[in-house]
Structure formats: C-alpha cells, structure tokens
Structure 1
Amino acid sequence: MIPLKFRTLASVLALCSASVLAQESPSYGPRLEGFEYPWPVQQYQFTSQKQALEMSYLDVAPVGKANGRTAVFLHGKNFCAATWEQSIKALSEAGWRVIAPDQVGFCKSTKPAEYQYSLAGLAANTHALLASLGITNIDLVGHSMGGMLAIRYALMYPKEVAHLALVGPIGLEDWKTRGVPYVSVEQWYENELKTSYEGIKRYQMDVYYADAWKPEFERWARMQAGMYLGSGKELVAWNQALTYDMLLHQPVVYELPQLKVPTTLFIGAHDKTALGKGFAPTEIRPTLGNYVELGKQAAKTIPNATLVEYPDLGHSPQVQDPARFNADLIKALNP
C-alpha cells in the first residue's frame, strides 16, 4: 500500500499536470471560434441540400506587382485554410491572388448535422464560391484530402484549371480494393470522439514530419485538438465521420488518366497516409500508403504530369519545409 503522504503528493502533482495541460490545450468552438487566422476570414453564403450554409475563406491580394493569376488552396482533412499560411504568403509575394476556403464541415465553415457529402458536391461548392468572386481560371493546389478534391475539381472543370498541384494527395489508391473493410459512420464517429492532442501529435510526427518535431508544428496540432475540446465536439466528430465515409467510397484513382491539365505531384517519401489502415487486417496494413510507389505510379498514369519527390519529408512538406516547398511550387506554376 502506498503511504498516504505519497498518495497525496501524487494527487497534487497529477492536478498540477492536468492544470498545465489544460492551459496548453486551448478549446475552440464548433466553427473554430477562438483560433485566429493570419488574414481576415470572409463568408460565402449559399444554399445546398435545402440548408443555408456558410463557406469561410481567405482572399489574399498580391503583394507588389500582380501577375494576373489566382491560386486556390484546398486543405486536407486534418487541416484548415490557415495551415497554408506560408504558401499563401509566398505566392502572394510572387504576384498571385490567393483564395483558400474551408470546406463545408471543416474548420470555420458550417458543420451541418445532416449532409450528404460528396467530392463532386464540395467541388461544386468551391466552384460557386469562385464564380461569386468573378474567378474563372485558377492554379489549383490541393493537399491530402484537398488533393483528392482537387483531382475531382479538375475532372469537372478542366477548362478553368491552368495547373494542378497535388501535395501528398490521398486517393492515389482504392483502400477498399486493397483490403480496408467497411467502416460504418457510427464507428468513425466513436473513433473521432477519442481524438486527443497526444494522439494527434504522435500521428503527425510519424506521418507528417518524418519523426521530427519543431515548435512551429505545435500550433496546427493544437488547432485540430482544440475543436475536440470545445462545446461542439460531437458536431465536429460527426462531420469528420461523414467525410471519412465520403472519401472511402468515392475513389478518384481510376480517373487519373482522364486529367487534362498540367499536373505536378509533390510527394514526401516518409508519407504513410492511408484511410482506414487501422481497421485493416494486420498483414494488409504495411502495404497501404506506400507513397514512394504511389507517387511514381500516379506520375505515370496522369498525362503531362511531373513528380517532385522529397526523400527526407513526410505528408506535409509545405509545413515541414515551407521555404523549399514554396520555391518548388512557384517553379512548377511557372514552367
């Protein structure tokens, strides 16, 4: 039996530790209220599926001489428009107008309790936003889920995309045919409710940053974790569950040969992203998310594609090494 004085000391230390953790782990509202973006957030109001919705977005003007071009950045599933901060700044300084939306169901946009999510629907929402701004020709940059969405957008509106840049895009393989079993929305929801900062950081170190952690990564991990600590935790988790179901059952990999726009793939060799990997049989898991091979295969499959590989980086090169990535992105957009 532990003596009372030691049990008391342990209790005090545990309370202090919990207090410190609470101070370090801010909570945010269901629409990321309390987390500040680096530029003013604007709202596109529209109706979809008989619901009044708002799509938050950044509209950043070029700094210095404008080049007359517009870049659109599409965020990943565990990311937001603000995560593109360094890339938005770099392209703005190089003359681009930059639009970076938060998709419906994510970050500062509406999170409907009932919504039939589809990649085509999100692409159509984004297209409507751009039309409302008078934008008809874009350089389209998508990361992770945003890469999968960017592929769908380019397939739907090929004449309006000057260049397609895919950064660690998911969807380069069909997880179902590779052995990931059906996972119900309820299972995804229960899994999402377990989300914690500690789990987010472990996953990001392993997949996003090649087992390296820098202080500047902390902000984005806290951003994601904060929505699961706030009053809208259940709504956030439910929308995340619905979008997992969308991604697993709406593959784009079979349509890659149909892309008609110049495309650049940016692939980190340490990327291991694969939806549903944790639900797959143990023997299948190591075969999923092999981005060294997936990147090469996609570059061969997509007409007029160029592959940029980062042997030392992971899933998020734009965050892990923004200077190098941004220089490569600008070079790709100015062939």
Structure 2
Amino acid sequence: MSNPEIAQSVLAAGIRTNVHDLGSGPPVLMIHGSGPGVTAWANWRLAMPVLARQARVIAPDMVGFGYTERPAGQRYDMDTWVAQAIGVLDALDVEQTDLVGNSFGGALALALTIRHPQRVRRLVLMGSVGVPFAITPGLDAVWGYAPSLARMRELLDIFAYDRNLVTDELAQLRYEASIRPGFQESFAAMFPAPRQRWVDAMTSNESDIRRIAHETLVLHGREDRVIPLSTSLTLSNWIPRAQLHVFGQCGHWTQIEHAARFAQLVGNFLSEAGADEPKRLNG
C-alpha cells in the first residue's frame, strides 16, 4: 500500500526534499510544526485537499523531519530551513507565494518573510514561535520526547484540547512514525536540553517583525499548552497589517481540532480581493 506521506522529490538548496504539490491556482506554501514523527502530510492532511480547491498547495517536509533526506552532518537551524524553503519555491518555479506556518513553521515563515519579502504575498501564522517567551512545560515535553507509546500518548494529550481525538490508534500511529529509521536521531539532535535556547534561536527581531508589510492572519488555540497564546497577541500587536483569530476550546492542533473552520478562515483570507495589497515588494 502506498504511503500518503511520501509525495514528489525535489532538490531544494542541495537537500532532496519530499514535497506535496496539489491543486492549481495561486500558490500557498504550508510549513509544518516540530512534533516527533511529524510530516507535512500528518500536519496538513485535513487542510490540504480543501485549500487545493482554490490554490496550488505546496507542503514540504523540512530537513530533519519526515521523508526529506537527512544529509550526514546536517546543521539544523533557521538559515538552513529558510534556504530550503526558498529552494522548494525555486525548484517549483514559484516566484511569489502565500505562506502558512504552524508553530516551528511559523517561526520559519516569519524569518522567510523578513529575509525574502518579495517572495511572500500573504502570511498566516498558527500557534507560532518566533517571538520571545519562556518555554512551556508542554513544549519542553514535546522537544524532549523519548520514544515510547506511553510518552506519545502523553504528548497527544498536551497537543489536543478535545481528548476524544486522542485515540489509542492515533497514539500508535504517531509512535510508529516517531521511530522510523533516522526520525528520532535527527529529532533528538535538533533540540537537546536546555531547550529555552532553541525558542530563543527561532526568535526574529522585534524591529524586523514590525516592518513586515504583508497582510497577516494570526491564529491560535485559546487552550494551547505548547505555545502560549501570548505569542500570537504579541505578533498581532507588532505586525501592522495583522488580524487575530483565537479558537476557543482548542489546543495546539487548530488545523485538526477545528479543521473546517481553519480551512475556511485561511481560504477566505487568501482569496480576498488584492486591491489592498502593498505594491509589489521587490520594487
């Protein structure tokens, strides 16, 4: 049986990258979070087919995650991930894209927008890292994950507000995903303790964030125990053209716990008439 998590392979900044590319229309690049065993498909599987009705959805596995190659001696840092994301756009001949980032992917989306503003049209940040905050016990547990079925079950309970989502089957699937060859080795290498430094390393400068000229949608689950709601409040205050939507009765899995509302909200935001867009940011 084919694995839906494996899609096409492109060479992005020298890294053989697993990329989902579906639908047609204005491109939207979707960047996943940093949970153990995560893939782009696992993160965006409910949103991708809905958004693909109106857009070209591009969702890569970032290096260190999923089915993208893990080169020996690979550095895992924001410079690497931003270069890889730009490499994906270049490989697929995408000049400018809408950009959706989840958690870790939000920090990456922020950094990419700051460094390459002309490559981004609109920005969506969901449960995003990228501004200063004290690491939560939830995030420390996620990044400190050591493989076991019991630990995975505990993490899923942290991620989700609705415990009915956390079935034994899901825990088994995510546990098995986390122990695929190479997955845990790269994951453990990325976020060794003390882990506050990795939160700090993903932070963009306040002055740079305040200069973001793009229309931005900031999303967060009110009961998020992994990334505090305060990060999205900060982002919505700092980004001049930001709007904020907070989902009640929702943890860190906005795109799963409120899948239909998430897809509708993002789809509406990205398809709004562009008369209010800033003049093309590359001059």
| Band of TM-score, shorter chain | 0.7 to 0.9
C-alpha distance in 1, partners of 2:168/2:268? Answer: 25
Stretches of structure 1 lacking an aligned partner (at least 5 in a row): 1-33, 63-67, 275-288
Q: Which residue of 1 aligns with 2:101?
A: 142
User: Aligned ranges for residues 1-335 of structure 1 at < 5 Å?
Assistant: 36-37=3-4, 41-46=7-12, 48=14, 53-62=15-24, 68-78=25-35, 79-82=38-41, 83-93=43-53, 95-175=54-134, 191-192=144-145, 194-206=146-158, 208-214=159-165, 218-219=169-170, 221-232=171-182, 235-241=185-191, 246-252=198-204, 254=206, 255-274=208-227, 289=228, 291=229, 293-335=230-272
TM value normalised by structure 2? 0.81
C-alpha distance in 2, partners of 1:142/1:296? Answer: 16
**SS at structure 2 position matched to 1:164:** strand
Whether contact under 8 Å (1:271, 1:314) holds in the other structure is yes
Deviation, structure 1 residue 247? 4.5
C-alpha distance in 1, partners of 2:167/2:255? Answer: 12
Amino acid of the structure 2 residue aligned with 1:101: P
Deviation, structure 1 residue 97? 0.8
Whether contact under 8 Å (2:129, 2:202) holds in the other structure is no
Q: Percent identity?
A: 22
Q: Which residue of 1 aligns with 2:281?
A: none
The higher radius of gyration belongs to 1
Whether contact under 8 Å (1:105, 1:112) holds in the other structure is no
Amino acid of the structure 2 residue aligned with 1:203: L
Deviation, structure 1 residue 47? 5.7
Amino acid of the structure 1 residue aligned with 2:34: K
Deviation, structure 1 residue 214? 2.1
Whether contact under 8 Å (1:258, 1:302) holds in the other structure is yes
Amino acid of the structure 1 residue aligned with 2:246: E
Whether contact under 8 Å (1:112, 1:239) holds in the other structure is no
TM value normalised by structure 1? 0.70
Whether contact under 8 Å (1:174, 1:251) holds in the other structure is no
Q: Deviations over 1:36-68 (max 9, x none)?
A: 226x611112564xxxx3111111123xxxxx3
Amino acid of the structure 1 residue aligned with 2:212: L
Q: Deviations over 1:275-320 (max 9, x none)?
A: xxxxxxxxxxxxxx3x1x3322221111100001112111111111
Deviation, structure 1 residue 231? 4.2
C-alpha distance in 2, partners of 1:159/1:218? Answer: 43
Q: Deviations over 1:245-289 (max 9, x none)?
A: 655424126232122211100111001225xxxxxxxxxxxxxx3
Deviation, structure 1 residue 119? 1.2
Deviation, structure 1 residue 211? 4.5
Whether contact under 8 Å (1:209, 1:315) holds in the other structure is yes
Deviation, structure 1 residue 88? 0.7
Taking a change above 3 Å as real, the CA distance of residues 163 and 124 of structure 1, as seen in their structure-2 partners, is: same
Deviation, structure 1 residue 215? 6.2
Q: Which residue of 2 aligns with 1:65?
A: none
Whether contact under 8 Å (2:28, 2:100) holds in the other structure is yes
RMSD between superposed Cα atoms in Å: 2.9
**SS at structure 2 position matched to 1:77:** coil
Deviation, structure 1 residue 205? 1.9
Whether contact under 8 Å (1:41, 1:58) holds in the other structure is yes
C-alpha distance in 1, partners of 2:209/2:187? Answer: 31
Q: Deviations over 1:10-46 (max 9, x none)?
A: xxxxxxxxxxxxxxxxxxxxxxxx98226x6111125
C-alpha distance in 2, partners of 1:159/1:41? Answer: 28
